[in-house]
Amino acid sequence: MMGIEITAWLSAAYGVALLLVAYGIDLLAKRAQGSIQEQRDGDFVYHEDHDAWLCPEDQWLWPKSFDPDNRVMRYRGSPTVCNSCPVKDSCTSSDDGREMRRLVDSWPASESARFHRGIACAVVVLGIAWPAASAFVVESWAGQVLLLATSALIALASLPLWSHLRRSPATPEGVEFKSADETASERVLIASAVIRKRTSYASDRRPDNAS
The tens digit of pLDDT for each residue in 87-126 reads 998 898 888 889 998 887 766 666 777 788 899 999 999 9
pLDDT at 184: 66
State residue 61's pLDDT score. 94
Calpha distance 34→36 (Å, rounded): 6
The dihedrals phi and psi of 24, each to the nearest 5 degrees, come to -65, -40
Tell me the three state secondary structure of residue 85: coil
Task: For 129-170, write each residue's pLDDT tens digit.
Answer: 999 999 999 989 999 999 999 999 999 999 998 877 665 556
pTM, to two decimals: 0.62
Q: Span 79-85, mean pLDDT? A: 91
* Per-residue pLDDT, 203: 45
Q: Which pLDDT does position 170 carry in this prediction?
A: 60
Please, which residues bridge with residue 102 across strands?
Answer: 73
